[in-house]
Amino acid sequence: MFEGFSVSDVEVDEATIHVRHGGDGPPVVLLHGHPRTGATWHRVAPLLVSAGFHVIVPDLRGYGRSTAPAQRPDHSQASKRAMAADIVAVMRFLGHERFFLAGHDRGSYVAFRLAMDHPEVVRAVALLDCIPIVEHLDRLTPEFATAWYHWFFFAQPETPERVITADPEAWYGGDPAAMGAENFAERQAAIRDPRVVTAMLEDYRAGLTVDRADEEDDRRAGRRLAVPALALWSSRDDLEELFGDPLAIWREWALDVSGGRIDSGHHMAEEASQALADALVTFFRAR
């Protein structure tokens, strides 16, 4: 994976961020989701390099080979605001003051928060398979609670750790042929580490508390994304089925948003890498 990429471990506030970076041209940051690592982008990253971008692929704090600080009662150490600040620090370490940004799944919430808090450093942002957390919660139905029960299970204290660490491979599953053998092996190593499991769960605990509060503050203040945004979602996942047109929702949060479906299951970077790379290249080149 990531042939020709360099690897750095960057010290930021309270954490060490493991990052792969390679290629020349305008910088693009790719943020992964749960329970993946940056390796989920192993098929997309070289396509972006070939298209003329410098590609930066970190493991989010607490995920993969990045570290996380100790748990806090309010879960703020796992907030998307803290994770976003990590990425800004990593990019400054690598010599980039402005960059393109894409996030998938949990990484999309980091990308959203980064673009909201630091619009001066984000040239454009792609938000993949997501709507804001508060929009999910505003639309809470039995169907959503059943299909996305993990949001609420992961938010419980202690019990999720006991369940997942008892047999992480059974909990998370995965197909090495579909994911790519090295990507799968990296994910397996991560989920076998109880510290990583707890950090990933803290991500969800922060989501329903401090991150939700940050989005509620944004909405009350009328803050919206000031940078161009691309919203893409997997046609064979359930985001549109549960919540309707994601673009209609994002128009309430962004001044300039476009997007549509990608023909894929949920893990679009692994399942539809060429289509996703093409969409990102087209979007970023226009900005």
Q: In whole angstroms, what is the distance from residue 267 CA to residue 178 CA?
A: 10
pTM across the whole model: 0.97
- Residue 13 CB coordination number (10 Å): 10
Q: Which of 105, 129, 214, 237 is catalytic?
A: 105
- Residue 15 CB coordination number (10 Å): 22
Radius of gyration of the chain (CA): 17
Instruction: Give the chain's domains with CATH numbers.
Output: 6-285 (3.40.50.1820)
Q: Which of 238, 256, 266, 278 is catalytic?
A: 266
Mark whether 21 is an active-site residue. no
pLDDT digits (tens, 9 = 90+) for 205-260: 999 999 999 999 999 999 999 999 999 999 999 999 999 999 999 999 999 999 99
pLDDT band at 59 (very low <50, low <70, confident <90, very high): very high
pLDDT digits (tens, 9 = 90+) for 18-55: 999 999 999 999 999 999 999 999 999 999 999 999 99
Mark whether 266 is an active-site residue. yes
pLDDT digits (tens, 9 = 90+) for 131-183: 999 999 999 999 999 999 999 999 999 999 999 999 999 999 999 999 999 99
Which of 119, 128, 118, 98 lies closest to 30, judged by CA?
Answer: 128
